[in-house]
Amino acid sequence: MSFSVNATDGEARAGFLRTAHGDVPTPAFMPVGTKATVKAVDPDELRSLGTSILLGNTYHLHFRPGEDVIAELGGLHRFMGWDGPILTDSGGFQVFSLKHTILATDDEGVTFRSIYDGSPERFTPELAAEIQAKLGSDIAMCLDVCPTPDSPREELEEAVRLTTHWAARQHAAPRAEGQLLFGIAQ
């Protein structure tokens, strides 16, 4: 797993990110397969369009069908029918974009109500790492706090503090073999 720069133009750069399931030229467009599918486009069509990486959504996959089911079926690559690189988000964006579901946010994680059944759920950096390890993505994203751009400065500072704290914990948590960890820069 590595990143190499193959061209620059001033401060801009282009390169290749090497993952266990192939190289990703950067910058890259990453279609979103929220629930392990890019709606109305099959993997062969995605390849023919030049897609090199897909994004899977940890929040939704955790609730339906569940990371254990996906792991039993051979992991996210097999489940999606995609043999190229996959990045999974941490679920943080979904939790924080559904502000009305948040019950508590603290140094340990975030507690929220599931949009599927209203049950209280808790995401921690360690759980985000565990879910993404079971999914078997090539790149796992750190759990982060996603404030709105117009948030007061104190909220932004707290979001950066929590995100940094959570990133250190997720970095220390076990990952799938060869899985890269993507730290969030806010």
- Output the pLDDT for position 185: 76
- Output the pLDDT for position 163: 96
- Output the pLDDT for position 111: 96
**Residues comprising the chain, all counted:** 186
- Output the pLDDT for position 126: 98
Buried (b) or exposed (e) across 79-91, using 16+ Cβ within 10 A?
A: bbebebbbbbbbb
Give the model confidence (pLDDT) of 133-161 as tens digits. Answer: 999 999 999 999 999 889 999 999 999 99
Number of H helices, E strands in the chain: 7, 11
User: What are the residue ranges spanned by the domains of the chain?
Assistant: 29-182
The residue written with tokens 């899985």 in the block is 179
Q: Which CATH class is domain 29-182?
A: alpha beta
- Output the pLDDT for position 186: 67
Helices 125-135, 153-172: inter-axial angle, 10-degree rounding = 50
- Output the pLDDT for position 2: 87
- Output the pLDDT for position 144: 95
- Output the pLDDT for position 13: 96
Would you tell me how many other CB atoms lie within 10 Å of the CB of residue 184? 19
Provide the 3-class DSSP secondary structure of residue 50. coil
- Output the pLDDT for position 3: 93
Tell me which residues of the chain have a pLDDT lower than 70: 1, 186
**Residue 81 near residue 115, CB atoms below 8 Å:** no
